[in-house]
């Protein structure tokens, strides 16, 4: 069984109990991690608190040097880390390498540079305005992008001068352990980074409520995010939340329909649909609706379900039996509410593993459950509209506002409509995801931003010195 990383050393949990890590493609137990308890949280937070004065007071170039070394070592080990991610959460290996591993390595390198370059003070009239690290940060991360979501929090926090206690998802923890090994090997000072494994209601809640934690950064479901924010409010600590999404792919009548549908299906199904920013609602003009549905069905049929280590695989398994069961319930609910299943469904595509067929629904009304709630699986809802105003209302007509897309005959036209949407990021005519631009949501998709310069700003307190 693996151990916890606290104060620069590996140690057993006080509990002595284990959580089994399951390969979702084979349903076999591949590892065991400690089931942490509040006493482990106490030890980790104390270690982070002890190390904070020296780390926050270190020269920026020293922090940059260590983070650069970590980014370089992560890049060197990218193949091994990608294989671990493909094994414990099921991403196809090519995606696990390019997106799940090399992209976070690039983000880590960007924050290494920012450790030195990001401005820490400015003059406003007779005041010197300075930025100081917020303190001890509790980072709680999910299983769907198990390294990227960690780096989005840990890298800017360390670059800013904060110390960190990380709780990754116990469902897919292997990438977190790989990163802890890297930080240890490059010589990150003891206590600056600490790793706890365990269940959210036990370890995560103890971290969020801990009086010696100055900030909690959480990524996960909106329901869990509300709980984290409630616990954190008791000690009035800073909270950053990156939560759910139900993003819209809005296709205007003058757009390239085939390109928009093809890209929309790909975005919805990437990572087996386990992406908070996935475009899970395709909004198409009624005159083009039937054609778009047919295109989506044809595209969906090209998404081969299979072993993450098979080069032909485009969709791996869902991360767990519980997640597969959740997605199946939503597919059944869609049919019960009158949506028309035109691709996929609830039949098991393979005899072993937590797989779901890529699924497409037509005849979806905006108020249906499958058009309102985050499914977190490869399920696409196609919704018709008759006017641009109605299309915008449908796109904005959920409690979420994380991502989305607009397609139009010209970039200017797409931007005009995108500006009207209440969402944190919008792809214009297929614009690529930028890991160095701010990421976050409106409404119940979250509070705060990750990535880019706004990402490091989350980890500063601001002080004014009147001169």
Query: pTM for this structure?
Result: 0.97
> 224 and 292, same structural domain?
no
CA contacts within 13 A on the Cβ side of 318: 23
Which CATH number does the domain housing residue 165 bear? 3.40.605.10
Dist. CA 406–CA 249, nearest whole Å: 6
> 213 and 131, same structural domain?
yes
Sign of CA dihedral 184, 189, 191, 194: negative
Q: How many domains does the chain have?
A: 2
Tell whether 203 is covered by a domain: yes
State pLDDT tens for residues 32-88. Answer: 999 999 999 999 999 999 999 999 999 999 999 999 999 999 999 999 999 999 999
Tell whether 117 is covered by a domain: yes
> Given this model, what pLDDT does residue 260 score?
98
> 100 and 44, same structural domain?
yes
Tell whether 75 is covered by a domain: yes
Tell whether 25 is covered by a domain: yes
> Given this model, what pLDDT does residue 258 score?
98
> Given this model, what pLDDT does residue 152 score?
98
> 278 and 137, same structural domain?
no
Tell whether 169 is covered by a domain: yes
> Given this model, what pLDDT does residue 90 score?
98
Which CATH number does the domain housing residue 341 bear? 3.40.309.10
Domain ranges, residue 335: 248-434
**HEC sequence for the chain:** CCCEEECCEEECCCCCCEEEEEECCCCEEEEEEECCCHHHHHHHHHHHHHHHHHHHHCCHHHHHHHHHHHHHHHHHCHHHHHHHHHHHCCCCHHHHHHHHHHHHHHHHHHHHHHHHHCCCEEEECCEEEEEEECCEEEEECCCCCCCHHHHHHHHHHHHHCCEEEEECCCCCCHHHHHHHHHHHHHCCCCCCEEECCCCHHHHHHHHHHCCCCCEEEEECCHHHHHHHHHHHHCCCCEEEEECCCCCEEEECCCCCHHHHHHHHHHHHHHHHHCCCCCCCEEEEEHHHHHHHHHHHHHHHCCCCECCCCCCCCCECCCCCHHHHHHHHHHHHHHHHCCCEEEECCCCCCCCCCCCCCCEEEECCCCCCHHHHCCCCCCEEEEEEECCHHHHHHHHCCCCEECCEEEECCCHHHHHHHHCCCCCCCCEECCCCCCCCCCECCEECCEECCECHHHHHHCCEEEEEEEC
How confident is the prediction for the chain on average, in pLDDT?
98
> 421 and 287, same structural domain?
yes
- The active-site residue, picked from 170, 205, 242, 450, is 242
> Given this model, what pLDDT does residue 312 score?
96
Report the DSSP pairing between strands 340-343 and 359-362.
antiparallel
State pLDDT tens for residues 2-14. Answer: 999 999 999 999 9
> 215 and 277, same structural domain?
no
> 404 and 256, same structural domain?
yes
Q: Which residues pair with 195 in a beta bridge?
A: 5, 166
From the list 420, 440, 417, the residue with the least C-alpha distance to 428 is 417
> 459 and 379, same structural domain?
no
- Radius of gyration, alpha carbons of the chain: 22
- The active-site residue, picked from 152, 162, 268, 276, is 276
Tokens 């917020």 label which residue?
134
Tell whether 200 is covered by a domain: yes
Q: What is the pLDDT along the chain (467 residues), one digit of tens a residue?
A: 899 999 999 999 999 999 999 999 999 999 999 999 999 999 999 999 999 999 999 999 999 999 999 999 999 999 999 999 999 999 999 999 999 999 999 999 999 999 999 999 999 999 999 999 999 999 999 999 999 999 999 999 999 999 999 999 999 999 999 999 999 999 999 999 999 999 999 999 999 999 999 999 999 999 999 999 999 999 999 999 999 999 999 999 999 999 999 999 999 999 999 999 999 999 999 999 999 999 999 999 999 999 999 999 999 999 999 999 999 999 999 999 999 999 999 999 999 999 999 999 999 999 999 999 999 999 999 999 999 999 999 999 999 999 999 999 999 999 999 999 999 999 999 999 999 999 999 999 999 999 999 999 999 999 999 99
> 257 and 238, same structural domain?
no
> 284 and 219, same structural domain?
no
Q: Which residues pair with 315 in a beta bridge?
A: 305
242 is known as an active-site residue: yes
Tell whether 439 is covered by a domain: no
> 456 and 374, same structural domain?
no
Tokens representing 96 are 């696990």
Cα 28 to Cα 24, 57, 215, distances in angstroms: 8, 46, 37
> 210 and 328, same structural domain?
no
Tell whether 440 is covered by a domain: no
Dist. CA 299–CA 301, nearest whole Å: 5
Q: Which residues pair with 129 in a beta bridge?
A: 122, 464
């Amino acid at each position: 069984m693996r151990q916890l990383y606290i104060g620069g050393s590996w140690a057993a949990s006080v509990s002595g109990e284990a959580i089994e890590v399951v390969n979702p493609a084979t349903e076999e137990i591949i590892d065991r991690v400690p089931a942490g308890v509040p006493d482990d949280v106490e030890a980790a937070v104390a270690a982070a608190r002890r190390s904070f004065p020296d780390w926050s007071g270190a020269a920026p170039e020293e922090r940059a040097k260590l983070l650069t070394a970590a980014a370089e070592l992560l890049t060197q080990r990218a193949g091994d880390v990608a294989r671990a991610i493909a094994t414990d959460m099921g991403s196809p290996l090519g995606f696990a390498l390019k997106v799940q591993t090399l992209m976070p390595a690039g983000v880590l390198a960007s924050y290494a540079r920012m450790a030195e370059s990001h401005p820490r003070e400015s003059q406003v009239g007779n005041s010197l305005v300075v930025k100081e690290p917020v303190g001890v940060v509790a980072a709680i991360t999910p299983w769907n992008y198990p390294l990227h979501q960690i780096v989005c929090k840990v890298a800017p926090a360390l670059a800013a001068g904060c110390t960190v206690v990380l709780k990754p998802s116990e469902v897919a923890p292997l990438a977190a352990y790989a990163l802890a090994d890297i930080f240890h090997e490059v010589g990150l000072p003891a206590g600056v980074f600490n790793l706890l494994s365990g269940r959210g209601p036990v370890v995560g809640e103890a971290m969020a409520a801990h009086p010696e934690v100055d900030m909690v950064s959480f990524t996960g479901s909106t329901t869990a995010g509300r709980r984290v924010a409630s616990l954190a409010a008791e000690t009035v600590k800073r909270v950053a939340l990156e939560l759910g999404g139900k993003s819209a792919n809005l296709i205007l009548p003058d757009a390239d329909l085939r390109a928009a549908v093809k890209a929309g299906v790909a975005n919805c199904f990437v990572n087996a649909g386990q992406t908070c920013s996935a475009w899970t609602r395709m909004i198409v003009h009624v005159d083009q609706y039937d054609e778009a549905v047919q295109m989506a069905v044809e595209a969906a049929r090209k998404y081969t379900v299979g072993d993450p280590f098979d080069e032909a695989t485009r969709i791996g398994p869902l991360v767990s039996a519980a997640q597969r069961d959740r997605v199946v319930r939503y597919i059944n609910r869609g049919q019960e509410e009158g949506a028309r299943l035109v691709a996929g469904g609830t039949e098991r595509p393979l005899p072993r593993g937590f797989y779901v067929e890529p699924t497409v629904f037509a005849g979806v009304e905006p108020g249906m459950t499958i058009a309102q709630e985050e499914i977190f699986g490869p399920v696409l809802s196609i919704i018709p509209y008759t006017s641009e105003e109605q299309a915008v209302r449908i796109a904005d007509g959920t409690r979420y506002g994380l991502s989305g897309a607009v397609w139009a005959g010209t970039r200017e036209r797409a931007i005009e409509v995108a500006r009207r949407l209440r969402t944190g990021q919008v792809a214009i005519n297929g614009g690529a995801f930028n890991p160095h631009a701010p990421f976050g949501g409106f409404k119940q998709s979250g509070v705060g931003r990750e990535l880019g310069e706004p990402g490091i700003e989350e980890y500063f307190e601001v002080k004014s010195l009147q001169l």
